[in-house]
Structure 1
Amino acid sequence: MGGYCINKALLLDEREIEEYADWQFDSFEELWEAAAEFAGDRLGNWDNPWVETIGCTSERFNTSEFISCEKHSLWVEQDRDWTETLTNIFKSLGSVEHQIAARFLNNPDQDRLIQDITAQIESAIHQENFCNARALVTALENLRLAGLPCFRNAYQLTSGGNDDAYDLRNKDWGAGRRVIVEIAFVWE
């Protein structure tokens, strides 16, 4: 099946998924099934485009699974850990350098991340790489609310636009039990 797709990474939390499912997850397999259902419910009904779940990654279980056989994943890769998925998102959506992403993921100091990315922005402007500078600024726009770079507010989520990442959690529960579900809006 062909079609035009736009991928979205959806940041969720196990606490909210467990409340929704009325179940505590003992395995990644249980979690990703419920996370995909929860994400679909949060998105609502879409006829055109329709929504396809592509993959899921879990911070607690530190693994990911590619679910879709038909659509291409941009960020979630089979059997990759949480950090690898986030690094993929930070690089592809925010142009965040690998060493900056690694430092932040080892020590999530938001002030240090802002300093590091500001230096990267200044370098991009000096090199007249304005597309990179814009991506880096965008990476920081919701940092304080999401706790991670590159994740926009849920109210900004649309089926159109570019491939992007959104924080669909009711609040930032902190580290440890975050989940990312990658979906595609598909037009046939």
Structure 2
Amino acid sequence: MGMHYVNKLLLLNETDIMDKGQATATGFTDLWDQAYEYGKRYQSEYGSPICSVLGCSSERFDQTVLEPDYCQPNWLSENAAWDDLLLKVFQYPGGLDEEMAREFLQTKDIRALTSKLEFRAQAHLQSKDYYASGQLLQTLVALQGRDLPGFRCGSFMSQGGEDDVLDMRFDKKFGAGRRLLLEVAFLWD
């Protein structure tokens, strides 16, 4: 019998992965060690599914590391820059075209992005392209209370289901500069 796995890309702040009293990572290797230990917390106490930590990307250090085993990452790629990874998520599952994604990355203007998405969703509805409209509407729903397109609320986190991209930050006001992406996979045998 084969193995089945689902990938989850988690958006976190560095403070989210630190144990109480733990010092802030001074280098990327230290941050990766902290992120790896944090990811292992998702291991089921019953042994299945197995949680595999696939890699991590740091905004502060603008570095990415991969350590895949039986599973391959969907979003992270070796030595990818932070902005390139965000662009990837903005486009899928975020539903933005490349031009929109790049513009948002530069301006970070949620209101302007929301207006453009609403306009495009209405245009798709009028032309009866319900699939395209539905994707944009899902992006609009996911944007409520968030600062980045493509990331769903962390409360949707599960060890099963489908591949997913989740905003797991406890404090959304922590801001840019110390965010990280952690990709994990849950293996079911």
Output the TM-score relative to the length of structure 1.
Answer: 0.88
* Pair 32,127 (structure 1): closer, same or farther in 2 beyond 3 Å: farther
| Residue equivalent to 1:181 | 182
**Would the aligned equivalents of 1:20 and 1:38 in 2 still touch at CA under 8 Å?**
no
Structure-to-structure mapping, 1:68-107, within 5 angstroms:
68-107=68-107
Q: Within 2, Cα distance between the matches of 1:163 and 1:5?
A: 9
Q: Secondary structure at the match of 1:115?
A: helix
Instruction: Judge conservation of contact 1:21–1:34 (CA < 8 Å) in 2.
Output: no
Question: Is the 2:104–2:113 Cα contact (8 Å) retained in structure 1?
Answer: yes
Residues of 2 paired with 1:161 and 1:179: CA distance? 23
Task: Indicate conservation of the 8 Å contact 1:138/1:150, yes or no.
Answer: no
Q: Which has the larger radius of gyration?
A: 2
Task: Give structure 1 stretches of 5+ with no counterpart.
Answer: none
Which has the higher mean CA deviation after the structures are superposed, 139-148 or 63-72?
Answer: 139-148
TM-score, normalised with respect to structure 2: 0.88
State the secondary structure of the residue aligned to 1:145: coil
Tell me the SS of whatever aligns to 1:165.
strand
User: 1:56·1:182 contact (CA, 8 Å) conserved in 2?
Assistant: yes
Tell me: CA distance 1:119–1:32, structure 2 relative to 1, closer, same or farther (3 Å).
farther
Aligned to 2:109: 109
Q: In 1, Cα distance between the equivalents of 2:32 and 2:73?
A: 15
- The change in CA–CA distance for 1:145 and 1:32 in structure 2 (over 3 A counts) is farther
2: CA distance, partners of 1:21 / 1:152: 30
Give the deviation of 1:21 after TM superposition: 6.7
Residues 157-176 of structure 1 correspond to what in structure 2 (within 5 A)? 157-172=157-172, 173-176=174-177
Using the alignment, how far apart are the partners of 1:155 and 1:165 within structure 2?
12
Is residue 45 from structure 1 mapped to residue 44 from structure 2 by the alignment? yes
Check the 8 A contact 2:43/2:50 in 1, yes or no. Answer: no
What letter corresponds to residue 157 of structure 1 in structure 2?
Answer: M
The separation in 2 between residues aligned to 1:21 and 1:124, in whole angstroms, is 51
CA RMSD of aligned residues (A): 2.1
Structure 2, unmatched stretches of 5+, are none
Instruction: Indicate the percent of aligned positions where both proteins have the same amino acid.
Output: 28
Residues 57 and 120 of structure 1: CA distance in aligned 2, closer, same or farther (over 3 Å): farther
Paired residue for 1:152? 152
CA distance in 2, matches of 1:81, 1:152: 22
1:105-159 superposed Cα distances (whole Å, 9 cap, x missing partner): 1111110111222233234434544333222222232324331112122221112
> 1:142 is matched with which residue?
142
SS of aligned partner of 1:93: coil
Q: How does 1:7-46 map to 2 (within 5 A)?
A: 7-20=7-20, 22-41=22-41, 43=42, 45=44
